[in-house]
Amino acid sequence: MAPLHPSAGGTYARTVVLTTGKTYDPHGRPPQAGARSGAPSMTTGMRRGRRRRWSATGHCRGTGALLRMSAAIGQTALMAEQLLPGGSVNRVVRHGDTVQRNPGDRADFVHELLRHFEQRGWRGAPRLLGVDGQGFEVLTFLDGYVAWESATDLVSSVESLAEVARLVRQFHDLTAGTPLAGDQEVVCHNDLSPKNTVYRDGREGMRPLAFLDWDIAAPGARIHDVAHMCWQYLDLGPAVNDLAATSHRMRLMCDAYGLADRSGVVEMILWWQDRCWRGIDAGADAGDAAMASLRASGAVRTVRAAYDWVLAHRAEIEATLAWP
Ligand SMILES: Nc1ncnc2c1ncn2[C@@H]1O[C@H](COP(=O)(O)OP(=O)(O)O)[C@@H](O)[C@H]1O
Ligand SMILES: [Mg+2]
């Protein structure tokens, strides 16, 4: 969603900036995932999370509690708090090895999910350290690169894309058949994107390590996350300058995930995109300031253009995906 973020390129989370002009992230929610209240995610158009309790000066009132919690969990170094860039809804504060953020509306579910990952030894998500006295959730800070403005060349190698898909497959498989997935195939993240991904720079370049921002995770079908992943990590839309190469990358991501039937992927991408721009539009019409601001920044136009682009190239993309 590069156009939603005015500047270019990502940033190393370890060199965070102290100011952040956060925008909402209006995306949608997979058809069977149920309604939520709160602010829409840019990639899902879905309502999410309570607003963080910030004073007019931008100082987070939960800081003292976080410091106490950090001390309680053995964080000894008292570092200055840092606002982390790249969020769409929440203002996330780093303090040493932890981050503090306000929980979403379904925090109990998300916390159970994070504990499930921890119990299963999966390292593709932050660990939940607890909830502080102010009600903020405290998570481990995952050091690395977050492509929070757009999927830069740094994270667009085929190896990196394939690894993203494998990570998605891992947590899907870890949740399949569990009570967390309910009567659905798996638990979906529902907001997979480079800005919610921590990458580690290794000898062979950037590789994804973990996904952040599980606020709107919910039971769903595997294809929901696969479609969202393809849209976001390949930045499907008018910015694509090589349709054939991008279609092959999409195929590669589906292959790396191990998705046998790709016939519904493009349809699902269109569903996400349609939901996204409509979510922003409806929110802005209803007087939601964040949605109004997003619309004013051109987000509706951008996502509609992405939708139109996918629709226009649907046949070519589907032919590549179906290629034996
Ligand atoms: N546990 C974490 N470790 C490292 N960086 C994080 C962590 N949580 C959040 N961040 C940073 O903060 C940004 C915003 O966090 P996120 O949870 O995605 O908020 P939002 O719900 O507003 O999108 C992320 O893009 C990332 O740069
Ligand atoms: Mg986010």
In Å, how far are 8, 235, 265, 303, 323 from 3, measured between CA atoms?
A: 9, 11, 24, 9, 32
Q: How far is the CA of 316 from the centre of ligand 2 (A)?
A: 31
pLDDT of residue 64: 40
CATH 1.10.510.10 fits 146-322, yes or no: yes
Distance CA 34, CA 144 (A): 33
Give Cα 206 to chain centroid, integer Å: 18
Q: Is the dihedral of CA 81, 22, 104, 185 positive or negative?
A: negative
Q: In degrees rounded to 5, what are phi and psi of residue 207?
A: -130, 140
Position 151 scores a pLDDT of 67
Separation of alpha carbons 189 and 185, rounded Å: 13
- Report the distance separating Cα 62 and Cα 84, nearest Å: 16
> What pLDDT is attached to residue 273?
97
Give the pLDDT confidence score for residue 44 in this predicted structure: 57
Spatial neighbors of 172 by CB under 8 A, at least 6 apart, are 185, 186, 187, 188, 222, 225
Centre of ligand 2 to C-alpha 222, Å, is 20
Nearest by Cα to 291 from 8, 41, 7, 35? 41
Report how far ligand 2's centroid is from the alpha carbon of 85 (Å): 9
* Ligand number with the minimum distance to the CA of 148: 1
CA of 136 to the centre of ligand 1 (A): 14
Ligand 1 atom nearest the C-alpha of 144 is 4
What Rg, from alpha-carbon coordinates, does the chain have? 19
Residues with CB under 5 Å of ion ligand 2 are 196, 213
Using CA atoms, how far residue 299 sits from 43, 111, 149, in Å, is: 11, 31, 14
Q: Which atom of ligand 1 is nearest to the CA of 91?
A: 22
Contact status, residue 93 vs residue 82, Cβ threshold 8 Å: yes
Among 45, 297, 303, which Cα is nearest to 191's? Answer: 45
Ligand 1 pocket member 213 (CB < 6 A): yes
Could you tell me if the CB of 84 is within 6 A of ligand 1?
yes
Please indicate whether residue 13, judged by its CB atom, sits closer than 6 Å to ligand 1. yes
142 lines ligand 1 (CB under 6 A): yes
pLDDT under 70: residue ranges of the chain: 1-79, 87-89, 150-151
Q: What is the pTM of this model?
A: 0.80
Q: Listing from the earlier edge strand, what are the strands of the sheet with 82-84?
A: 82-84, 92-95, 98-101, 137-140, 128-131
Taking CA atoms, 168 is separated from 161, 173, 208, 261, 314, in Å, by 11, 9, 11, 16, 24
CA of 20 to the centre of ligand 2 (A): 13
Q: Which residue's CA lies nearest to atom 8 of ligand 1?
A: 212
Query: CA nearest 279: which of 20, 32, 48?
Result: 48
Question: Which pLDDT score, from 0 to 100, does residue 58 have?
Answer: 29
Best of 42, 84, 195 to mutate for ligand 1, by most ligand atoms within 8 A of CB? 84
Atom of ligand 1 nearest to the CA of 126: 1
Q: What is the pLDDT of residue 154?
A: 84
Pocket test for ligand 1, best of 27, 92, 114, 128 (most atoms within 8 A of CB): 92
Q: What's the CA-to-centroid distance between 149 and ligand 2, angstroms? A: 11
